[in-house]
Amino acid sequence: MGGVPATATARRARPARDPRPRGVTLGRVVASEADKLTSLRSTGWLALATVAAAAATAWGLGMFARPEPGASGAPIAVAGAVLSQLGFLVLGARTGADEYRSGTARSTFAAVPRRLPVLAGQALVTAAAAPVVAVTALGAAVAATAGLRAAAGLALDVTDPETARLLAGFVLHQTGVALVGLGLGALVRRPDAALVAGVLALVVLDHLLATNPGRVADTARALLPGAGARVLLDDGRLDALAAGSLGPHPGPWSGYLVLAAWAAALLAAAAYRLRRGDVT
Amino acid sequence: MTATTAASRRARPTAHRPADAGGPTLPRVVAAQWTALTSLRSSWWAAALTVVVSGVLTHLSAQASSVDPGFDPLGSLTSGVVLSQVPPLVLGVLVGTGDFSTGAFRTTYVAVPRRWPVLVAQTVATAAFALLTAVAAVAAAVLALLPSARSRDIALDLGRDGTPQTLVGMTLLLTAIALLGLAIGALVRRSVPALTAAVLLVLVLPVVLLLATDLSTDPLAPATGGVPPAVAVVNTVVAFLPSGAGALLTADVVVEGAPDLGPWGGGLVLAAWIALPLAAAALRLRTRDVV
């Protein structure tokens, strides 16, 4: 019984001695969001599946590449991007939406009543985790296609600007896709709905519009987030795409800007909903 | 009071009811699953989206091609099917995982301790709901052709060679895709991994395989005769994926380099895609814990 007052005194006394600031800081929110992401076992499995998908697709598609000595091996190394972007989409969508489904969003927003730092923390953690997975996936894909490149006489010269663009583009594109997933997840607050919307916007609509070309379809295609994949196309295919398109033909980096703009717009919409709406 | 109630309850089965009326018979489980499916708002949203997407896309496609000299309105009939199969797929996954993601499976399997009737009932209920949706979606696609056909004074003849097969094939495809979603959902039991797998299999893999043909052919090279071996391999793989097999259902097309399965072969491949995960789900349900 006598211990209770002593503890209370000690507790009351501590802030005076402790120089650290109390309360919610962005750094602490980021740390807690990083904890949430890395402490889930499913995150590790997701990263592993993403890396495996990137490497296996690159290897499988590399078998179809026509041997053309002197050509760059980069298009084959990044060929797994279409499949593995799904992993990044899931990563972002889960980071943004899982807490609403499990109900832990209540504790999170009780701890961070200003709310927006949570979304900022999730964006920072996603923007940090996605490149790590992407670089690993790219390394695995490069290693998996090493034998194919040697057999076909394809060079992988990082000092070649086109090769450098494709390899850097892989990491940037997958990070952009993860942020689009985060924006969708935080906006609709359901991971499954965010996933379906993301796949529709990134893959299905793009494919559907590509098979029904026309001025409207080509314009829409250049403005969908799928335009970001242009950063992964080599110059020959970009020229072929531009030659067959009746709409605007953004270059690789303007295409990537379209993807980045989608991510920014979705995150802004999610922030607006978080700021103005209820969190239940 | 309590004693009387207990006594009357114990007495009832022998006195007033036939011996087998109290248990969860299959028709009752089907009725329960039908209620579970139709009382969710998301099911009706999925059904409405399927019909709307099918009608709108077919209308847009027919309008776009109605200026061509050799315009055939029935040629645009299947143009909405790629996108309108997405809501049935999601619906199927949600039916398969719904019990497990909400925790309602505890109640469900206490009520039906033999478990497998639940899976059968979910299949029946989903098939019936998806079939009704598919009929409405195909009807919407046909109606969407009318304005552009009228603008060119072409009469729609649905009895013409191949068209009945296309109509039936589209209906079966949309129903089958819902059942494929259900099978994957019931096997995986968690909505995000199940949805990822379903979307990957039905929507993304065909696009990835198209890339393979893209990589193996020069986009600027003139077309030469014969099928390159790489294209033949890709087309064969695509024909055995759910989407490729489904495309064989809707049209009598010969894909170059792929074995000629025909509509029946395509239907069988699609049925196998449903039956295998469904059987695995039944095995998991029978031999493992429900968690």
Q: What is the DSSP letter of A21?
A: P
What does the DSSP 8-state code read for residue B204?
I
Structure tokens at B204: 């993304």
Residue with tokens 């996936």: A137
Q: How far is B154 from chain A (nearest CA, A)?
A: 23
| Beta-carbon contacts below 8 Å between A and B | 83
Residues in chain B: 291
SS3 call for A155: strand
So what's the pLDDT on residue B174?
95
Is pLDDT of B2 > 50? no
Chain A residues whose beta carbon lies within 8 Å of the beta carbon of residue B217? 66
Give yes or no for A75 touching B (CB within 8 A). Answer: yes
Three-class SS state of A13: helix
- State whether A240 and B220 contact (CB < 8 Å): yes
Query: Which of chain B's residues have a Cβ under 8 Å away from the Cβ of A191?
Result: 191-192
Residue B33 sits at the vertex; the CA angle it makes with A188 and B176, to the nearest 5 degrees, is 75
Res B15: pLDDT = 47
CA distance B152 to B198: 40
pLDDT at B201: 93
The letter for the amino acid at A103 is G
Q: Are B80 and B55 in contact (CB under 8 A)?
A: yes
| Per-residue b or e along A146-182, where b marks 16 or more CB atoms closer than 10 Å to that residue's CB | eebbeebebebeeeeebbebbbebbbbbbbbbbbbbb
* pLDDT score of A199: 92
**Distance from C-alpha of B169 to C-alpha of A37, rounded to nearest angstrom:** 44
* Partners of residue A155 on adjacent β-strands: A72
- Chain A nearest-CA distance from B99, in A, is 15
Handedness of CA A173, A174, A175, A181 (dihedral sign): positive
pLDDT band at B103 (very low <50, low <70, confident <90, very high): confident
pLDDT at A1: 42
Question: Is there a contact between B207 and A203 if contact means CB atoms under 8 Å apart?
Answer: yes
B78/A20: higher pLDDT: B78
Reduce the DSSP state of residue A72 to 3 states and report it.
strand
| Rg of chain A taking only CA atoms, in angstroms | 23
User: pLDDT truncated to tens, each residue of chain A (280 aa)?
Assistant: 444 455 555 555 555 555 666 788 899 999 999 999 999 999 999 999 999 999 998 888 888 777 666 678 888 888 889 899 999 999 999 999 999 988 899 999 999 999 999 999 999 999 999 999 999 999 999 999 888 888 877 888 888 888 999 999 999 999 999 999 999 999 999 999 999 999 999 988 888 888 777 788 888 888 999 999 899 888 888 888 888 888 788 889 999 999 999 999 999 999 999 999 888 7
Candidate from A1-10, A148-157, B132-141, B192-201 with smallest mean pLDDT: A1-10
3 state DSSP class of A24: coil
Question: In whole angstroms, what is the distance from residue A273 CA to residue B155 CA?
Answer: 50
C-alpha span between A23 and A111 (Å, rounded): 9
Residue range B136-152: average pLDDT? Answer: 90
A168, A83 contact by CB (below 8 A): no
Contact A203 B192 (CB under 8 A): no
With beta carbons under 8 A apart, name residues in chain A contacting B90: 192, 196
Q: Would you state the pLDDT for residue B133?
A: 96
**Residues sharing a CB contact under 8 Å with residue B91, sequence separation 6 or more, in sequence order:** B42, B43, B46, B47, B126, B129, B130, B178, B181
- What chain A residue is nearest to B195 in terms of C-alpha separation? A192
Higher pLDDT, A29 or B23: A29
Domain ranges of chain A: 26-276
Q: Mean pLDDT across the stretch B191-212?
A: 88
Residue A77: Cβ within 10 Å count: 30
Q: What is the pLDDT of residues B8-22, one digit of tens each?
A: 445 444 445 555 567
Min distance B148 CA to chain A CA atoms (Å):
17
Residues 190-219 of chain B whose Cβ lies under 8 A from any Cβ of chain A: 191-192, 195-196, 199-200, 203-205, 207-208, 210-219
Q: Does B127 touch chain A (CB under 8 A)?
A: no
d(CA B284, CA B186): 9
Chain-centre distance for alpha carbon B190:
19
Helix (H) or strand (E) holding B111: helix B105-111
What tokens does A54 get?
A: 């990137």
Chosen from B208, B209, B217 to mutate, greatest number of chain A CBs within 10 A:
B208
pLDDT at B226 over 70: no
Contact B203 A191 (CB under 8 A): no
Task: Please calculate the CA angle B88-B89-B92 and round it to the nearest 5 degrees.
Answer: 85
State the pLDDT at residue B227: 67
Question: Residue B25 — left, alpha, or beta (φ > 0 → left; ψ -120 to 50 → alpha)?
Answer: beta
Nearest to B196 by CA among A129, A83, A178: A83
CA-nearest of A210, A108, A102, A225 to A175 is A225
Name, of A129-133, B17-21, B148-152, B257-261, the range with top average pLDDT.
Answer: A129-133
Count of Cβ atoms closer than 10 Å to residue B283 Cβ: 12
Which has the closest alpha carbon to A177: A90, A56, A79?
A90
Nearest-Cα distance to chain A for B21, in Å, is 39
pTM for the model stands at 0.83
Q: Which of residues 75-104 of B touch A (CB under 8 A)?
A: 79, 82-83, 86, 90, 93-94
Instruction: Decide which of A21 and B117 is more confident.
Output: B117
Q: Which amino acid is at B165?
A: Q
Distance spanning both ends of chain B, measured CA to CA: 39
ipTM of the complex model: 0.79
CB contact (8 A) between residue A196 and residue B86: yes
Reply yes or no on whether the pLDDT at B1 is more than 50: no
Average pLDDT (B145-151) is 86
Cβ of A191 within 8 Å of Cβ of B191? The answer is yes
Mean pLDDT (chain B) is 85
Residues of B in contact with A79 (CB under 8 A): 211, 215
Predicted pLDDT at A239: 86
Give residue limits of the domains in chain B: 26-217+227-286
Contact yes or no for B208 and A212 at CB 8 A: no
Of B61, B199, B217, the CB nearest to A195: B199
Query: How many CB atoms lie under 10 A from the CB of residue B38?
Result: 13
The answer to whether A111 and A266 are in contact (CB under 8 A) is: no
Whose CA is closest to B125, among B44, B179, B177, B168?
B179
Residue whose structure tokens are 């007495």: B11
Is B35's pLDDT higher than 90?
yes
